[in-house]
Structures are given as C-alpha cells and as structure tokens.
C-alpha cells in the first residue's frame, strides 16, 4: 500500500507539472533549461592578405586560368583534384558531417592527435590585443578597396573586393557554475569559408561550405568557471565563385546550452494536411538527443500558440498535442510523433492575395518529471499544390508566380547579414508586385526566411550552383564528393518548417546536364536525399541546357527552366553569338512531361544602368547588349530602355509573350530582382551586376515599372522613359516608351498630341520611336477599357541648384543594427530632379550615430563603400546610417560644392 501511494504521489506531481506547462507559455530564454546566447560582440580579427599559416583544410589544384570574364551560361567543366596531404586537417573536420550522413557505416571517425595545438593563435594566452576588434556579422572584404584594372587577384566576377586569404577570429566565452553538466553547442549560421574551430587549443571541427549553417559540440573541450578561448580560422580562395561570396563570420553566431536530454539540432518537423478553413491536421515529429550516460524515459508536451504579424507570441493557445513518451538510449537519439486537429485555422498564404498567418509550437521535454528542454518551432498552416496545367495553388486558390532571383549580398553592406537591409529589399519588391523569391544559388541566412514567412513570399530554396563539375577552378566541386549529403540534408533540415518555402532546388545549371545518364545518376541521388528529409515538397534542379528527351529532366518533381522557355539566342538579333542556342521549349517540355508543373526559374537577364540611355535605340523587342548597341564601353553604362540583355537572355517583353503563349507555365523568377556584387556582365572591369530590376543602392530602374504594370494590373500607373533633359539632343530623334497597367495611352509634348496608341496582343509597352526632342514637358494619359486610368509627366530640368534628403525611416532603434537608408537627390531651383547630375556629395553625421556606407547604384563606381563622399548617378545617391547604442537624434547633412545643402533628423529609440 505504501509503494502504491508513493507512485500515485509521483504521478500527481508529474501531472501537475504538465498542467503548469500547459497553462502558461514561459520565456524560453528565461525559465527554460535551454539557453541560446548571441556571441556576436567582442571578437578580435586578423587577416593574412598574402602570407598564410600551414593549417590547411586540404590541398588545392594549381590555377592556370584566372579569367572570370565568362558568359554565365558557359558549360561547367572545371575539375581538379589533388591527393590529400598529411598536413591537411580534413580528417578532423569531416566528423562534423556525421549527423547528416544517414548510413552509420559511412560516418567519419576522428583521428587521434591535436593538430594546430601548438599554433599560437589557438592558445588561451596568446595576446590578440593588436588585432582588429569586430562585432558580427562581419564581412572583412566589403570595406575594400576595390581592385582596379586587370589582371588582378579578384576580378569583376567576384566583385573586385579583397575576399581572398586566411583570417582568424578569436573570442573568449565564460561558463557559469550552473553550466556544469550542460551540453554546450557553438552554432554558426554562416562562415565564408572552410571554417575550422579550435576551443582551448583543441581542434573541434568545422564546415567548408560557406553558406550552410552548422553546429559543433564544445562540451568536451570547455573548462567550467574559466575563460574559454574560441579561435576560428577561415580560408577564402580567389576563383572560388561566380559572384561576390563575402568573407568572414558573416552571419550570426550563438552559444546554445541544454540539458543532456534535449531536442536535437533542427529536430522538429511540422506537417499540415487536410487543410481547409474549417480544420487542419497538424503532424509533429520531434527528434530527441540523449547525451547522458544512461537510458532516459522522456515525455514530451507540445502546445500551439498564435503568432502576431511580427512573429511574436500572442499568448493565445489554440491546441495541445497528446502527451508522448519514449525510452532513449544513452548517447542516442529517438523520435516522438503526435498529431492534433486545429479548428478554424488561420491559414498562411502569400501576400497580397492571402495573409501570412503564423503559429508556434512549443515543445517541452521532461525526464523523471523534471523539465529538460523547451523548444520553439514557428510554422504556418497551408496547402500547396502544383498543377501541371493550372499552376500553383495555395489553400485552394491559384497563385501566379511573380518572382525574382536574389543573391545573398546586401549591396554596400556586403554579405554581412542585416535584417533591416533584407527587409527593405523585400518591401521594394512587394511594391513592384513580386510575390516569390528564388534564392540564388545557396542557402540563405535563417532570418531571411523569417522575413519571407512574415511578409508572405513564396520561396524556392536552393543549395548548389555546381556538383562534381565546377564553374570556377576552386569552387564547391572540389569538396562535393565528401560533403554533398551533409550539405543537402542540413540545408533541408534547417529550413523545412518555414511555410514560405514551397520547393527545393538541389542544383543550378550544373555541368552534369551535359553528361547524359552519368549526370542523371547524381541528380537522382540528390533528389532522393532531399525527399528523404522532406517528402512534403517537390524538388528539382534548374536546367539551362538539358532538353526534354535527356535523362536529366526525368529526375525532378517539376520542370525548372532557366531561359529555355522563351528560347536562348534564338532571335535574329542574337544570331551572330556563340554558345547555347535553343528554340522556345515550353511546348516540348509540356508535351514530354504532361504531369509536371513548369516554372521558369530564371528569365530575362536583361541589363541596364539606372537612368542612362544610349542612342540609337534598337527596334527589336529584345537585343544583346554590345559596345555598339545599347552599351557604352567608356562610361560602362547599359541603356535603360530595358530592351538589352545578356547574350543568353531576353527582354521582359519577350518573356511575357512566351509565357502568355503558354498559359500552363506557372510563372517566372526574373534574373534578377536587385543588382548584386560581382558578375558585372557585360563590363568585367566593373564591380556589380547590371541585371537587377532595382539597382545596388535600392533605386528603381525603369524596368521596375514594366514589371509593376504586369504584376499589379489593378494599380493605376503610368511611367514615361527616358527623362526629358537632353541639351545635346535638340532636334534629334529621342524615342519615348510608356509602361502602364492600362491598355491605351496618348502622349503629349508641350501640350501637342503625338498620337494615341493601344497595346496589341502580346505587347507590353507603348512606343513612340520617332519623337524629336524639344525641351519642355512630356505627358502621357493612359486609359483602361476606354476610361482614363493614370498619368505621368516628365519635365526638362534646369541646372543643379540644391540637394534633397529623404529617409526610408526617420525613427530607428539605437542598437547598432537598425539602419536608415537615406536618398539624396540633386534638384534644380524649381525642385525638379536633374537626371544627368553626377555631383560629388559629402555626407556628415552628428549625434550618436555614424555613416555605415554610401552608394549610387553605378556598377562601375570603384570608390570604397565606407567613403563619405559619393558621386550621384542620374541625380541620386544613397547614404546608410545607424545609431550607436545611445538614444538621441542624428543629424544627417549632405553637402556638394555650388549646391544648397540639405539635412534631416533621425530619431534613435
């Protein structure tokens, strides 16, 4: 009887604890045994620019051709492997991949020994006071200076910035007495590249691919109650990327402390099924790690709460999963699964058609009735279907993909991730009507997917730009065979609970498209890995060469085409060019794969420099840029008439027509949404791309309005190009084009009608190609269904007389991370923008803040981004400012010789 009462009492205590957990959501970083602590501050940094140390990951092949001025669709054919030398540390790094290698027989065993232990930088007593103090995220290369001329060690392809070399980061971490018995992890969201980590002089592990997030277990190497030394070595080779990769610890870094029994890394998976407005079934899988020395009986309780629009918990509990339990062996892992039905769920869907409602599942673990872990999993409830004829359906409604490709850099801020900078990019894209992002060509910062969840973007998440066949001499192909499974699994496992992610891409324009059955075998292997991690989403690789009758195309769940839908080099204007030549292939793929959805994962690759126009203007709807047509090799400008493209590309007009002729195509991802650092086709002496709809500084090119006219047909809008200030073109033909969501327009020059025109079928702009320039006012009145719709006016500006400042936000946090993006515009004395102005502008900040960077969107401008002086491009420039951990008011001032200065106030809170 006594034993029975004791057990009853224990059960009551345990049940009471569960009731407490179910009744109140506690702060997971407060009361929970799990602590996640940012260690972004207080690092010391040192870079070897020319010399290096001897602690190499592996040997690399010798480079004989450093030319990076190659057409982007050049066949991937690089190969170069060397035997691993005795001095290579790869054998100690590979075990970090084991959690993501499914077959235990293939797990890597850590060799004996302590490589690098005698190297001074890893030792606790090394004096690093002379090293540069930095806070993370940190991109060592973005401050420049730019490399100019040729040959240089880093050319235009990688952004002409000093990304190359070995660098070290050092920081001490202190363990509290309460950390005894805890498991301590180092979580690195991104390190570029070949990261190797020492703790107290012992090599812990690392991860070579610079875009993957990874975790290392520091527990065996730490000394409780003492300062513990972290030393991280990065090695960034030149000729390792087709674009600017950034450099350094460029994403967030964390210490995670847990009890021995805890939710494993990215260990939850939430699936939604039978979704409707009245109910949805939520399936939960929780993987639990038992790092203790004995078998543990673990109980799990999971509650679901509603999140608000900022992804903050509302405290409104909507469901509780049934309690689940499992016995987990010492040093092992186990999985607990449960399901629950939610009535009247608030569904996640893309903006603006639907609302991106979000929930959070809070999982609590108990061992012997004692709390052991608490883990948050944000998620959304939605139903996604890929229909091969009707396109993408979200929650039963068709959603046309109006997407863009985005590289990972943030312009003048480089690769160092900043939430506000990324949010600004997405806000401007949404203003254009964009509802989808393809992440080109690598896993993003985790916070970017938090933003796409919150803002309601559809996302194709991508992991590789190459496989075994490389595109540059030292890119990922050198380590693909060792790391492809771990990189692919960790990529999916990290991001699979984000509702914005609707599909996976496991390759972009890979060289294996050319190798027939051999390449298809690798594609199938990667496809199956991705689907093993997540069977709920389709997976594909983007094809710019593989044709419908090739085995490669059979290895994907949907057809992901780069440029092939509208055709590559198939129009008359492209006939003289060498390279891939493909007729429009939408019909052929649709006929061969009638059960697969088709989406254009890259379209257009149109080129332009904001506000610059080159004459004469092609009469074609699409033409390749050259030094004699659309391009100016002296200024390195490309005409903003938005008709000129890369050699393999097409204008927006041509792409629109191809998709409208083939309405079963689900939509497009334009190359690209924003200009990005590196790959400056067609002028590789420049620093950044020309392909963005929005320039590197965040200013809208004329093309922005062409896409807006198509993607937001309900918005009354009209846009005239070019500007109308041409003192050297009086009496010369200066074509006028109009972008409008209307269907008809009448153009007036100084009040005189130049004719009324109506869009024909498969026509997306209205052109008056014979207009003779006269100073004055150009005005367009547009119509829709016979009724006046929208107007636009451009006027001839006078001489530059004054500056104007305008901030995207005049009230920001003082935390050193929040930013204000301020546009300076050169005006005449009547307040008109001076579209040709290139005045040099000096920026000054007073108060508790500073200038972070300046820019103007000019791909050829090689002035370092931190400079407080910047020439305007087409009358505009940008200054980015931040606060420095003190409330107050910033005064930002812009000065230019001969012009009236301007100033504005930024409130820090």
> What positions carry a catalytic annotation?
509, 602
The Cα–Cα gap between 364 and 374 comes to 4
* Closest to 406 measured CA to CA, from 398, 415, 397: 415
Compute φ and ψ for 344, nearest 5 degrees. Answer: 50, 55
Q: How far is CA 154 from the centre of its chain?
A: 23
What is the end-to-end Cα distance of the chain in Å, rounded? 64
The Cα–Cα gap between 706 and 555 comes to 35
Q: At what angle do helices 702-711 and 652-661 cross, to 10 degrees?
A: 20
**Strand partners for 317:** 305
The Cα–Cα gap between 626 and 630 comes to 6
SS (H, E, C) 152-166: CCCCHHHCCCCCCEE
Q: What stretches of 561-619 show up as alpha helix (H) in DSSP? A: 586-592
* Strands, E assignment, 291-358: 296-307, 313-320, 324-328, 333-343
Within 13 Å and on the Cβ side, how many CA atoms surround 333?
12
The Cα–Cα gap between 579 and 648 comes to 8
Q: What burial class does residue 327 get, using C-beta atoms within 10 Å of its C-beta: 0-12 exposed, 13-18 middle, 19+ buried?
A: exposed
Backbone Cα Rg of the chain = 28
CB atoms within 10 A of CB 838: 16
- Residue 302 in tokens: 């999971």
Question: Is-contact 369 454, C-beta < 8 A?
Answer: no
**Strand partners for 542:** 508
Write the CB contacts of 831 (distance below 8 Å, at least 6 apart in sequence). Answer: none
Question: Is-contact 638 690, C-beta < 8 A?
Answer: yes
Q: What angle do CA 288, 291, 295 make, to 5 degrees?
A: 80
The Cα–Cα gap between 683 and 693 comes to 18
Taking phi first (over 0 means left), then psi (-120 to 50 degrees means alpha), and beta for anything else, what does residue 698 get?
left
- Residue 806 three-state SS: strand
**Polymer length of the chain:** 909
* Strands, E assignment, 5-142: 35-38, 43-48, 132-134
Write the CB contacts of 312 (distance below 8 Å, at least 6 apart in sequence). Answer: none
* Closest to 668 measured CA to CA, from 628, 705, 710, 699: 710
* Strands, E assignment, 552-597: 559-562
Using CA of residue 184, residue 188, residue 192, residue 194, what is the dihedral sign? positive
- Residue 350 in tokens: 């893309």
Cis-peptide, bond into residue 682, ω within 30° of zero: yes
SS (H, E, C) 182-244: CEEEEEECCCECCEEEEECCEEEEEECCCCCCEEEECHHHCCCCCEEEEEEEEEECCCCCCCC
- Residue 351 in tokens: 């903006």
Q: How far is CA 733 from the centre of its chain?
A: 42
SS (H, E, C) 674-721: ECCECCCCCCCCCCECCCCCECCCCCECHHHHHHHHHHCCCCCCEEEE
């Amino acid at each position: 009887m006594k034993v029975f009462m004791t057990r009853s009492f224990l059960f009551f205590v345990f049940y009471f604890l569960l009731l407490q957990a179910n009744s109140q959501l506690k702060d997971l970083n407060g009361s929970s045994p799990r602590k996640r602590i940012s260690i972004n501050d207080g690092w010391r940094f040192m870079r070897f620019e020319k010399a290096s140390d001897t602690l190499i990951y592996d040997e690399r092949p010798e480079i004989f051709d450093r030319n990076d001025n190659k057409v982007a669709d050049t066949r991937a054919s690089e190969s170069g492997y060397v035997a691993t030398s005795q001095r290579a540390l790869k054998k100690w790094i590979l075990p970090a991949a084991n959690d993501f290698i499914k077959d235990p027989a293939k797990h890597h065993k850590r060799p004996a020994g302590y490589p690098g232990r005698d190297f001074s930088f890893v030792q606790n007593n090394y004096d690093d006071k002379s090293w540069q103090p930095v806070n993370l995220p940190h991109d060592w290369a973005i401050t420049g200076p730019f490399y100019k001329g040729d040959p240089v060690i880093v050319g235009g392809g990688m952004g002409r910035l000093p990304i190359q070399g070995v660098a070290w980061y050092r920081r001490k971490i202190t363990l509290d007495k309460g950390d005894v018995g805890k498991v301590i992890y180092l979580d690195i969201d991104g390190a570029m590249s070949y990261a190797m980590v020492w703790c107290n002089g012992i090599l812990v592990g690392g991860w070579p691919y610079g875009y993957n997030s990874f975790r290392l277990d520091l527990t065996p190497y730490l000394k409780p109650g003492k300062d513990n030394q972290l030393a991280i070595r990065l090695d960034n080779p030149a000729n390792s990327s087709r674009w600017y990769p950034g450099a350094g610890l460029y994403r967030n870094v964390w210490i995670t402390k847990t009890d021995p029994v805890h939710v494993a890394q990215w260990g939850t998976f939430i699936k939604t099924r039978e979704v409707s407005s009245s109910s949805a079934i939520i399936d939960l899988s929780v993987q639990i790690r038992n790092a203790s020395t004995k078998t543990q009986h673990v109980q799990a309780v999971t509650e679901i709460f509603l999140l608000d629009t900022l992804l903050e918990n509302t405290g409104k509990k909507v469901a509780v999963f049934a309690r689940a339990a499992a016995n987990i062996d010492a040093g092992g892992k186990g999985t607990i699964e449960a399901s629950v039905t939610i009535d009247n769920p608030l569904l996640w869907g893309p903006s603006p058609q639907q609302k991106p409602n979000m929930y959070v599942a809070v999982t609590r673990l108990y061992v012997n009735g004692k709390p052991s872990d608490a883990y948050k999993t944000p998620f959304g409830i939605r139903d996604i279907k890929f229909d091969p004829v009707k396109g993408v359906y979200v929650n039963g409604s068709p959603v046309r993909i109006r997407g863009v490709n985005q590289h990972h850099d943030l312009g003048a801020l480089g690769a160092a991730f900043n939430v506000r900078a990324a949010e600004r990019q997405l806000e401007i894209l949404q203003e254009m009507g964009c509802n989808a992002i393809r992440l080109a060509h690598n896993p993003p910062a985790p916070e970017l997917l938090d933003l796409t969840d919150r803002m309601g973007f559809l996302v194709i998440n991508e992991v590789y730009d190459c496989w075994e066949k490389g595109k540059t001499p030292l890119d990922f192909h050198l380590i693909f065979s060792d790391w492809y499974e771990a990189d692919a699994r960790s990529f999916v496992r990290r991001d699979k609970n984000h509702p914005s992610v609707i599909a996976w891409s496991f390759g972009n324009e890979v060289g294996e498209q050319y190798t027939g059955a051999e390449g298809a075998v690798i594609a199938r292997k990667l496809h199956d890995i991705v689907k093993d991690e997540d069977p709920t989403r389709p997976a594909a690789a983007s094809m710019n060469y593989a044709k419908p009758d090739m085995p490669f195309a059979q290895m994907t769940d949907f057809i992901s085409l780069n440029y092939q839908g509208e055709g590559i080099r198939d129009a008359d204007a492209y006939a003289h060019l060498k390279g891939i030549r493909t007729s429009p292939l939408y019909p052929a793929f649709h006929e061969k794969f009638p059960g697969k959805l088709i989406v254009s994962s890259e379209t257009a690759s149109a080129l332009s420099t904001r506000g610059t126009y080159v004459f004469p203007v092609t009469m074609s709807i699409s033409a390749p840029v050259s030094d004699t047509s659309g391009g100016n090799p002296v200024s390195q400008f490309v005409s903003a008439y938005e008709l000129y493209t890369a050699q393999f590309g097409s204008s927006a007009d041509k792409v629109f027509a191809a998709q409208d002729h083939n309405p079963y195509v689900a939509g497009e991802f334009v190359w690209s949404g924003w200009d990005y650092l590196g790959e400056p086709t067609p002028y590789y002496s420049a620093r950044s791309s020309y392909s963005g709809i929005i320039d590197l500084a965040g200013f809208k090119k004329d093309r922005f309005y062409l896409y807006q006219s198509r993607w937001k047909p309900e918005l009354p809008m009209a846009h005239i190009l070019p500007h109308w200030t041409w003192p050297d073109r009086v009496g010369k033909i200066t074509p006028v084009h109009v972008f409008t969501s209307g269907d008809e327009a009448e153009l007036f020059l100084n009040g005189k009608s130049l004719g009324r025109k109506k869009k024909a079928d498969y026509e997306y702009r209205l052109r008056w190609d014979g207009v003779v320039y006269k100073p004055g006012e150009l005005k367009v009145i547009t119509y829709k269904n016979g009724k006046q719709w929208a107007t636009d006016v451009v006027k001839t500006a006078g001489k530059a007389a004054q500056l104007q400042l305008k901030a995207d936000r005049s009230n920001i946090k003082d935390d050193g991370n929040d930013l204000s993006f301020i546009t300076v515009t050169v005006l005449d004395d009547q307040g008109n923008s001076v579209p040709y102005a290139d005045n040099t502008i000096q920026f000054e900040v007073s108060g508790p803040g500073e200038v972070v960077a300046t820019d103007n969107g000019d791909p050829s401008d090689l002035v370092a981004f931190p400079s407080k002086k910047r020439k305007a491009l087409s009358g505009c420039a940008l200054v980015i400012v931040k606060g420095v951990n003190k409330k107050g008011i910033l005064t930002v001032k812009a000065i230019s010789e001969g012009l009236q200065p301007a100033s504005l106030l930024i409130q820090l809170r």
